[in-house]
Chain A
């Protein structure tokens, strides 16, 4: 019945159908979210006994004054600004090249996708060698003698390189899917309309890829904000030399697991969450505002 009106019975039935997923989501997503949000306000708290003796904003005040946290925020922002545009541009570029060649394209596709499915630890081992000051590949290629991983001036760059490289494969596959979805007629029309190869790229390829670009960008922003395991593996369980690669997520880890400052860790998690919400919110707001240019429709 298409015109059936919702009744108490039908609503209950619907709830019953939804129940498994709802229970899973509430237990594993909503409840931890709420409890860590609450924990961030516990100022006198015994984690093991779960006793809360006082609540307040002291943990946030602590973060506000804590130079390590400031460093973590700054490093995270630098990291995001370094990784996101590079990843998007590089993966788009490589996807375009792969789309041009037919020969061996699936071979290259696999090559680029491999890092995504390889364990972080294995990747870090390889990069440790590449970045090594004395006999590393990178220094051999550049002819320099940079201690990429132990010099605080370079270690964040090193981390950015590894993360960009790791993210490429997945984004290339997404871009290739996007490119495959562009109807060849648009290129033919543009060609007949007198568009050069570059003009075809800017007037057909780019606008048509806009939705997938938005997806990739937002996804990259979120995952870059949450970067942790690459740091842990690349710098031997440290946040880089002299905390040069201390990110917000690493700070959270350190406060929670190493220092046992559970409420401070929770508070830094809340701040990280707010950062991500604001930045992805801004991104979506921007894309919504310009949606007509991007998707060719008002939303």
Chain B
């Protein structure tokens, strides 16, 4: 008992001493530099978090006016939930990493502010077209691209050679390969949890995109349905699978159960780490449909909150510009597997060297010229949930695209009306 009390007393003293020390040091730092603090919530973990911290440190060391403090929330969903809560309690950070499709909701909620006053249009001219378009909402740049990736095709090199097949250039090639492989219990194509992203691309190639102009889409026209049928037919005849609760199609891919896998380029580094022994795989751009090539770009942007002071906003803009600069975006891409944001990166000697050493990264870079992103609109997330449900019906319950899309189309007016509230 006596020992315990002594121990507690000692720890209390130690704690007090530490508290005083840290108070001193933070005061010193604050008083000597008087930097503007920019708080930054992000969803990066592990090696990506380390790399981001490195970028932040580089930025902080590069000037004396601002100080960025990054804080990882575990994942993007958590960041989103934390923003929802912090908006209420008025404890938002200066900037946060978030899905750009949240922008309309945040604008409506009046919690974010555009970057336009601080970043000139000129500064963005080198960004890939898809990125420049996606950040635009109601004529203003409400977000800045950051961690972006492209959808690419993974193929099992060993299997491809064994079957005497070639890397497909069209979706019809994949359909054909599927019929050849079917008898061996191998599928031609594996998708992630569902095939919404691929269907999004196919319908776009067909000229009647799933995600077009808000709720004003025509899901039941022939072009769009034919595009969905490309995949749905394969799922029905067993030449393609969705990952379902496996989460990612890479699981089936690594088991050798599928020849191709359509996945995000952001997954390359994870996949390299978990490749089974003896397996060799490569990447390519996604095949064309109706003579067109597209690749869905996904990933996260940075938004700036209205609660930030003018100085903070300036600092945030400086930081974001720093992140988008040629040197940093290439470095970020090389270390994380995301894509460089600028067009000119491709001709950068250093990056070319990197691509030569890392051939799997080429496909993503090559996809950027025909990349696309859904246009953000109010109610996007609700629409995405509804689309997801319809595609689930098609996959799990074998509902035909005609029926599923007709049902979805019927809900659209109501969903659009709800957004007027």
> Which A residues lie at the B interface, using CB under 8 A?
43-50, 68, 128, 131, 134, 147, 149-152, 234-238, 241-244, 254, 257-261
**B245 and A236 form a contact (CB under 8 A):** yes
Interface centre among B81, B105, B245 (most CB of A within 10 A): B245
**A259 in contact with B381 given A46-B108, A48-B111, A241-B396 (CB within 8 Å):** yes
B109, A236: Cβ atoms under 8 Å?
Answer: no
Contact A128–B109 (Cβ < 8 Å)? no
Cα A237 to Cα B81 with chains together (Å): 14
Q: Give the distance in Å from the alpha carbon of A43 to the alpha carbon of B421 in the complex.
A: 7
A241 to B245, CA, bound (A): 8
Give, as a whole number of angstroms, the nearest-CB distance from A101 to chain B: 37
Give the complex CA separation of A96 and B382 in angstroms. 49
**Closest residue of chain B to A44, judged by CB?**
B421
Chain A interface: which of B134-142, B276-284, B387-395?
B387-395
Given contacts A44-B421, A241-B395, A242-B392, contact A235 B110 (CB under 8 A): no
Q: B84 contacts A49, CB within 8 Å?
A: no
Known: A48-B111, A149-B244. A242 touches B385 (CB 8 A): no
Q: Contacts A44-B421, A241-B392, A241-B395 given: A150-B244 contact, CB under 8 Å?
A: yes
In the complex with contacts A236-B247, A258-B385, A260-B381, A152-B110 CB distance below 8 A: no
Q: Is B26's CB within 8 Å of the partner chain A?
A: no
Main secondary structure of the interface of A (DSSP, over half): loop
Residue from the list B106, B108, B389, B418 in contact with A242, Cβ < 8 A: B389
Select which of B245, B393, B418 is within 8 A of A149 by beta carbon.
B245
| Structural contact, B109 and A261, CB atoms closer than 8 A | no
Give CA–CA (A149, B421) in the complex, Å.
Answer: 37
Give chain A residues whose Cβ lies under 8 Å from the Cβ of B80: 257
Taking CB atoms, residues of chain B closer than 8 Å to A50 are 88
Contact mask B195-209 → A, CB, 8 Å, 1/0? 000000000000000
CA distance A134 to B87 in the complex (A): 45
- B193 lies within 8 A of chain A by Cβ: yes
Which of A48, A238, A241, A242 is the one whose CB lies under 8 Å from B110?
A: A48
Residues of A within 8 A of B381 (CB): 258-260
B residues with CB within 8 A of A: 77, 80-81, 84, 87-88, 105-106, 108-111, 193, 244-247, 255, 381-382, 385, 388-389, 392-393, 395-397, 418, 421
Some 20 contacts from A to B, beta carbons below 8 A apart, are A43-B421, A44-B421, A45-B421, A46-B109, A46-B110, A47-B109, A48-B88, A48-B106, A48-B108, A48-B109, A68-B389, A134-B255, A150-B244, A150-B396, A151-B396, A236-B244, A238-B392, A241-B395, A254-B385, A258-B381
Chain A nearest CB from B415 CB (Å) reads 10
Shortest Cβ gap from B386 to chain A (Å): 9
Interface pairs A-B: 9 shortest CB-CB? A48-B109, A150-B244, A241-B396, A242-B396, A149-B245, A259-B382, A242-B392, A236-B247, A48-B87
Q: What is the distance, in angstroms, from B197's C-beta to the closest C-beta of chain A?
A: 15
Q: Which residues of A contact B389 (CB under 8 A)?
A: 68, 242-243
B109 & A49 in contact (Cβ 8 Å cutoff): yes
Give Cα A43 to B418, complex, Å. Answer: 10
Q: Which residues from A are CB-within-8-Å of B388?
A: 238
Task: Tell me the complex Cα distance, A205–B397, Å.
Answer: 47
**In whole Å, how far is A151's beta carbon from the nearest beta carbon of chain B?**
7
B79 CB to closest chain A CB (Å) equals 12
CB distance from B301 to the nearest CB of A (A): 18
Partner of B382, one of A44, A49, A261: A261
For A43, the chain B residues whose CB sits under 8 A away are 421
Cα distance, A237 to B393, chains bound together (Å)? 17
Of chain B, the residue at the smallest CB distance from A46 is B109
Cα distance, A152 to B394, chains bound together (Å): 12
Residues from chain A with a CB closer than 8 A to the CB of B421 are: 43-45
A53: nearest chain-B partner, CB-CB: B421
Q: Choose among A48, A150, A244, A259 the residue that contacts B385 (Cβ–Cβ < 8 A).
A: A259
What is the bound-complex CA distance between A244 and B392, given in angstroms? 10
Q: Is the CB of A261 within 8 A of B418?
A: yes
Chain B residues, CB < 8 A from A234: 245
Q: Which among B108, B393, B421 has the greatest number of chain A C-beta atoms within 10 A?
A: B421
CB atoms of B396 and A128 under 8 A apart = no
Of all chain A residues, the one with the shortest Cβ separation from B378 is: A260
